[in-house]
Amino acid sequence: MAKREYSYYPGCSSQDGASSSNLKRSIDTMCEVLDVKLNEIPDWNCCSASIGYGSGGVLPRMALSARNIALSEQHNAGQDIVATCAACWLATKEAAERFKEDENFFQEANTALAEANLKMTNQTPIRHMCEVLIEDIGYEALSEGVKKPLEGIKIAGYVGCQTNRPFGIAGESFENPMYLDKMVDSLGAEAIPTYEKKVQCCGGALAFSEPERSQEMIKGIIEAAYDNGADMIATPCPLCQANVEIYQDQINERFGTKFEMPVVYYSQLIDVAYGRSAEDAALDGQIIKAKKLDDIAAK
């Protein structure tokens, strides 16, 4: 039996053939090596991220999260909900907190839920996978399991927005969170604690609707990584990963830059450091290959 068990909310972008399917694959491997069992919430739905507000009011938006919470309570009773996507985590946690603050709102959500024959008590903690790593497993234990230290890789830890604000990881600052750097250190790679763009916005959903403005911000994020001598960027957030990785061609065209900066997930770092193959770590999902990671995985 696995040491730890959680109720898992992977989110739309993690599904097969979706933009961060590589995140899910690398998370699955990571949970194997860390002896963590994830029980996917059956029939989970979209959280509407933080872009649904154009059509959805507060109650409809939060009802979406209420449904996931209710399903988790029903099928994965007693297990903390764990999300790997920043927006999923934020939307679910925000909804849970709002239900707690406002009894009336909570009742309304349950009234809506009843239409889907569901009911929630809203007692489940809503957590991010990073919290599991830091709080339940710890940097020390993480470091102990390393088989192939990621020596010689300098990594800019890009935390982004929604993993960091407004909730963030307990004990970390909003302006300069250190946990990603500590994780990088634990795996034997070189962190850049002073990476000045670690909480800079990448544009989020506006990368689609305001591409020019967003790409200007993304350019800054990549530029600062180069300035700090980074070999690659690591991030916990699927939208950050996608936005920072996949538009580099377009940015190069727009701004005349020559970016080719790999952007990986923390989970991929762990997979490789724990001795798993490039495929297990979903490194084949990179559009810009993380060569140094590939090399270590191949050793």
Q: How far is the CB of 202 from another protein (least distance, A)?
A: 8
**What one-letter code names the amino acid at 142?**
L
Q: How far is the CB of 200 from another protein (least distance, A)?
A: 7
The stretch near another protein (CB under 8 A) out of 103-111, 120-128, 263-271, 291-299 is 103-111
Looking at 9, 44, 266, 274, which residue binds another protein (CB under 8 A)?
44
**What one-letter code names the amino acid at 16?**
D
Count, residues near another protein per rule CB under 8 A:
67
**195 within 8 A of 261, measured Cβ to Cβ:** no
**CA distance linking residue 151 with residue 40, whole number of Å:** 34
| Residue 78 within binding range of another protein, rule CB under 8 A | no
**What one-letter code names the amino acid at 245?**
E
φ/ψ region of 282 (left if φ > 0, alpha if ψ in -120 to 50, else beta) reads: left
CA angle 58, 63, 64 (to 5 degrees): 110
By beta-carbon proximity to another protein, the closer residue of 59 and 137 is 59
Q: How far is the CB of 196 from another protein (least distance, A)?
A: 14
Can you tell me whether residue 263 is helix, strand or coil? strand
**Residue 52 per-residue DSSP state:** G
**CA distance linking residue 194 with residue 216, whole number of Å:** 21
Q: 195-214 mask for another protein (x: CB under 8 A)?
A: ----xxx-xxxx-xxx--xx
Looking at 4, 18, 136, 254, which residue binds another protein (CB under 8 A)?
18
155-169 in b/e form (b: 16+ CB < 10 A) is bbbbbbbbbbbebbb
Looking at 83, 273, 286, 296, which residue binds another protein (CB under 8 A)?
286
| Residue 111 within binding range of another protein, rule CB under 8 A | yes
Binding site for another protein (CB under 8 A): 12-13, 15-22, 43-46, 48-60, 63-64, 67, 108-109, 111-118, 161-162, 165-166, 174, 199-201, 203-206, 208-210, 213-214, 217, 242, 246-247, 249-250, 284-287
